[in-house]
Amino acid sequence: TEGSAVPASAKGSWSSFLKSIASFNGDLSSLTAPAFILSSTSLVEFSTYWAEHPSIFIAPAAEKDPAKRALLVLKWFLSTLKQQYSTRNEKLGSEKKPLNPFLGELFLGRWVDGAGETQLVSEQVSHHPPVTAYCIWNSEHGVRLQGYNGQKASFSSMTINVKQIGHAILHIDEFDEDYLITLPPLHIEGLYSGAPFVELNGDTYITSTSGYTSRIKYSGRGWVSGKKNSFNASLYHDGKEKEPLYTVDGQWTGSFSIKDTKTKATLDTYDAAKSKTTSLTIAPVDEQDPLESRRAWQKVAAAIQKGDMDATSREKTVIEQSQRELRNKEKAEGKEWNRRFFVKTDSHATLEKLAKKLGVSVDGDKTNGVWTFSSEKASVAK
């Protein structure tokens, strides 16, 4: 086809892949994709995207005014979107199919910069359905983000529609404040030409125990502004959605500006394209725990990078086989895999209160439980 990114030798396998997604069951991990679209990065690494600007992440902790604090939380959230949804496209030329994490897979690291030390723990807490949980914290500034998520997908007219299941909670120690963050639905376009990319749609919310809520509305190319990756957000006092205190408009891959509704003044502008990230420091592969992602997938990743499909599937089979054996052993012993950093909880008072405010439910049905970071487990793990 005209303008196709599919390598000549992969034309056949790409069209059978497209046919297979037309009839799949909603679990993206069950798809077998051709080599050129495989990424050597596991989905467990994606939790990193939440804090690649540590100083923006910790900024709310220094703000005394609760409305301005909520605004800084909104700004931080918006600043993560480019990393979350468009980096693969920028770095690899298109969205790719990430490695499907195995149960217990870990991704650990830390950012060290002007914000001090910010730590990351990401763990695959469920395999069926796939669910990743994470906790990111900066002790010096007393900011902690934790969350978990899975995806449910459907296919229609050459587009994969992805609903994210799960949420994130940001806690600020100084004000003993929590923010519940909902996750945007997304869709994957560009499938036909073999260059898939993500667009966001729908709304997400950030609602706080301090009584403020932000609503973010996403629109793609051809919508109101006509520019891709557009959004508009408003921050209001609970119950006063019609009278927002602040609005934010622009593109999450480009620039956006924050305005005070009353004075109409522009308070801040942010350019996602120009904002530098701090890279995550991780242990050298040889020093990693066997369950750490880069170590566990080392051989598979090398095979993918070489474009060697036979070695890729051979090495994947080694991992899948040992996972199957582990599950069988657990079954025989009547045991369950012990998650290293997270516990399954039935309910969580703060979470439920905030979810109720948004009218969303937080049942753990689709994520194999409601997952909470356990500092006791974490201290044993270290």
Q: How many angstroms separate the Cα of 381 from the Cα of each of 210, 341, 348, 374? A: 34, 8, 24, 11
In our burial notation (b when 16+ CB lie closer than 10 A, e otherwise), range 35-49 reads bbbbbbbbbbbbbbe
Task: Find, among 152, 188, 57, 146, the residue nearest to 377 by Cα.
Answer: 146
164 binds ligand CLR (CB under 6 A): yes
Nearer to ligand CLR, 84 or 288 (CB): 84
Nearer to ligand CLR, 159 or 257 (CB): 159
* Residue list 195-214, contact with ligand CLR (CB under 6 A): 196, 198
Q: How many amino acids of this chain bind ligand CLR (CB under 6 A)?
A: 18
Q: Give the Cα separation of 138 and 62 in Å (integer).
A: 13
Shortest Å distance, C-beta 35 to ligand CLR? 13
Q: Give the Cα separation of 120 and 138 in Å (integer).
A: 9
Task: Find, among 300, 298, 370, the residue nearest to 339 by Cα.
Answer: 370
Residue from 76, 77, 85, 373 in contact with ligand CLR (CB under 6 A): 85
Shortest Å distance, C-beta 168 to ligand CLR? 9
Residue from 53, 69, 96, 127 in contact with ligand CLR (CB under 6 A): 96
Shortest Å distance, C-beta 382 to ligand CLR? 25
Residue from 82, 97, 141, 339 in contact with ligand CLR (CB under 6 A): 97
Shortest Å distance, C-beta 50 to ligand CLR? 7
Is 220:208 a contact under the CB 8 Å cutoff?
no
* Residue list 11-30, contact with ligand CLR (CB under 6 A): 28
Shortest Å distance, C-beta 95 to ligand CLR? 5
Shortest Å distance, C-beta 220 to ligand CLR? 15
Contacts 24+ apart (CB under 8 A), 273-279: 273/82, 275/53, 275/79, 277/52, 277/53, 277/83, 278/52, 278/53, 278/54, 278/111, 278/112, 278/113, 279/52, 279/111
Is 219:231 a contact under the CB 8 Å cutoff?
yes
Q: Which stretch binds ligand CLR (CB under 6 A): 91-99, 236-244, 330-338, 339-347?
A: 91-99
51 binds ligand CLR (CB under 6 A): no
46 binds ligand CLR (CB under 6 A): yes
Q: Give the Cα separation of 251 and 229 in Å (integer).
A: 5
149 binds ligand CLR (CB under 6 A): yes
Task: Find, among 114, 113, 137, 128, the residue nearest to 47 by Cα.
Answer: 137
The contact pattern for ligand CLR, residues 171-190, with x = CB under 6 A and - = no contact, is -----------------x--
Q: Give the Cα separation of 347 and 372 in Å (integer).
A: 10
162 binds ligand CLR (CB under 6 A): yes
Query: Given the rule CB under 6 A, which residues bind ligand CLR?
Result: 28, 33, 37, 43, 46, 49, 84-85, 95-97, 149, 151, 162, 164, 188, 196, 198
